[in-house]
Amino acid sequence: MAWAAAQGPTPPSAPPIAQEAPVIESIEETTVGDLAGVRVAMANVFVDRYVRADGAPAEGLTCLLVFDGQKVRVGAGSAVSVAGRSWEVVSVTKAADALGEVVLRAR
């Protein structure tokens, strides 16, 4: 205790950093999802070329996102801005004889 007193007041411990769960949304092919209050439709899943968030070209399964009069083709690793909020495309998948699905994570 003497040592502690000699060193002056103990610095307060750092406050815990709030860890918010990442916002992840998925939208199925031909349906209309909700990205933070914005209606976003998804359609036409097929293999195509697209651009990743870092600007690198890529090729793989893509889908079309339709919102606010925009149509944006995206694939895994690309980013899209919806009503000012940026979303990363985590995956685009499609099983045989099933609707495709896109998973997005708020950035």
Whose Cβ is closer to another protein: residue 35's or residue 89's? 35
83 binds another protein (CB under 8 A): no
For the CB of residue 77, give the shortest distance to another protein in the complex, in Å: 19
For another protein, the binding residue among 2, 5, 9, 39 (CB under 8 A) is 39
By C-alpha distance, which of 77, 82, 8, 6 is closest to 40?
82
- DSSP assignments along 35-101, one per residue: ETTEEEEEEEEEEEEEE-TTS-EEEEEEEEEEETTEEEEEETT-EEEETTEEEEEEEEE--TTS--E
98 binds another protein (CB under 8 A): yes
Binding piece for another protein, criterion CB under 8 A, among 3-11, 35-43, 50-58, 82-90: 35-43
Contacts of 3 (CB under 8 A, 6+ apart): none
For the CB of residue 49, give the shortest distance to another protein in the complex, in Å: 10
Contact indicator for 66, 40 with CB cutoff of 8 Å: yes
For another protein, the binding residue among 22, 32, 59, 81 (CB under 8 A) is 32
Chain positions contacting another protein, by CB under 8 A? 26-34, 36-37, 39, 41, 43-48, 64, 66, 71, 94, 97-99
